[in-house]
Amino acid sequence: MRLDRKALSPPLRPANLLSARQLAFAWSVMASIALLAWVLVVDQARGMGVEPGTMGMGVPLFLLLWLVMMVAMMFPSVAPVALTWARAIGRQAPSGVVRVARTAQFVCGYLLAWTAFGLIAYGLLAGTGALVDAYPGAGRWIGAGAFLVAGLYQFGPWKELCLRHCRSPMGQLVRYAGFRPRARDLRVGAHHGAYCVGCCWGLMVVLVPLGVMNVAAMAAVAVVIFVEKLWRLGPVFSQVVGVAFVVLAVLSLFQPWLLPGLVPPQSPMTQMLRPGGPAAG
């Protein structure tokens, strides 16, 4: 397997445009927002558990929770791009109110891309949940398929393209400067968000077998995304993760405990009718 040296080069960082003090402050803000989102996610997950499907949530509630999850999982890795673009905004807009408004547009555009994917995720969860409820044995095949798709995508050309963009976005940011002024920041955020979705959708798919509200799984995926985008050997690490997913695809066919997100919740009646249960005595 031949590795592209350009892909292994360290991503261009906002340190090229920001002073060390400004960079530290900006990272602190992004980390604080992500931490607050994690607190909200953990608190919500505590009362929901891990089970197949959408856990009874309608589309609006699911999308709201999904966006909080994306802020928690994605903000640390998107910080270099966001900070660099915010720096560019600061040079063009001397007014603090204008800077805040334009930065908010960028963030909204970014989250808009993930909201669109959230609709797909909702449909996927609803479909798999209904299938597992009807055919409990299908869970292992769904889980194995999800791990396999995610693993193979780690080696695909689209993953490489999107990961290269997310690791070295400076060329794209120069291109964004040529966008028409109207809603430019919103479109820049949405454009970069689309690349992030293209880079990370496979990693999000593994939350179907692991549980969409499985906090440990979410944290692990967030770490993978962060390392892929910001570590010098991120592309190599990405392929190592792909191998791990393929292995999990095989193991999950024989080890159902690897698929907590595809185990149907057992009702009290099911427990009573099970051999050895209260009713059996």
Q: Domain tally for the chain?
A: 1
In a domain, 277, yes or no: no
For the cut 70, the answer to whether the pLDDT of residue 89 exceeds it is no
Q: What is the pLDDT of residue 240?
A: 96
Q: Compare 174 and 205 and report the one with higher pLDDT.
A: 205
Has residue 273 been placed in a domain? no
List, for residues 29-50, the tens digit of each pLDDT value.
778 889 999 999 999 888 787 7
Compute the distance between CA of residue 70 and CA of residue 73 in angstroms, rounded to an integer. 5
The verdict on residue 178 lying in a domain is yes
Which tokens hold the place of 202? 């496979």
Separation of alpha carbons 143 and 261, rounded Å: 9
Residue 184 lies in a domain: yes
Residue 245 resides in a domain = yes
Position 201 in a domain: yes
Query: For the purposes of burial, counting CB atoms within 10 Å of the CB of 160, is it exposed (0-12), middle (13-18) or buried (19 or more)?
Result: middle
Q: Among 2-6, 43-47, 50-54, 151-155, which is the least confidently predicted range?
A: 2-6
Domain extent at residue 39: 26-264
Q: Compute the average pLDDT of residues 239-244.
A: 96
Predicted TM-score (pTM) of the model is: 0.81
Is residue 236 domain-resident? Answer: yes
Q: What percent of the chain has pLDDT over 90?
A: 45
Q: Rounded mean pLDDT of 216-224?
A: 94
Q: Is residue 8 part of a domain?
A: no
Q: Which of 239, 213, 245 is nearest to 227 (CA)?
A: 239
Mean pLDDT of the region 116-132: 93
